[in-house]
Amino acid sequence: MQELAAQELWNRNWRYHKEMRLWITKESGTSPSQKVPSGERGSYSYWDPENWEKSRKEMTVIYSDLEEKSQPVFVQTQTLQLATPAAGVAAQAGQQPQPQPTPAPMVGSRVAAFQGMGLAAM
């Protein structure tokens, strides 16, 4: 669920700042940002987990400090195995059912971004 929440934040133009360990976004309708080498300076909104609120701050953002977009992890679900004549024959022959794949573990710094945060705030 954390990976899906991170993907939704990305879709809504929020970016995770690795150094500050915060999600930030540039609000539409704010003053234009000023380009600096490898980044930009401007007014950004960020999610403040200490006060549980969205705040605004003037800052310089270096692009390399932002986490890159990764491929989304798809939620894997186990499918029900329906009884079929072939399954009955396999069971009678003493064959074991094939093991089901397990969901991939969630890894990466996006998981750390949501520690202590509930999805209700998104």
Confidence of residue 117 (pLDDT cuts 50, 70, 90): very low
CATH topology of domain 2-72+107-121: SH3 type barrels. (2.30.30)
Express each pLDDT in 48-91 by its tens digit. 999 999 999 999 999 999 998 866 655 444 444 444 455 555 55
Contact 72, 65 (CB under 8 A): no
Domain spans of the chain, in order of start: 2-72+107-121
pLDDT the model gives residue 113: 40
Residue that has been written with the tokens 């939620």 in this structure: 75
**H-run or E-run covering 55:** strand 53-62
Lowest mean pLDDT among 24-28, 49-53, 82-86, 106-110: 106-110
pTM of the complete model? 0.56
Nearest Cα residue to 15 out of 51, 58, 69: 69
Residue 33 confidence (pLDDT) above 90: no
Confidence of residue 108 (pLDDT cuts 50, 70, 90): very low
Burial of 2 (0-12, 13-18, 19+ CB in 10 A): middle
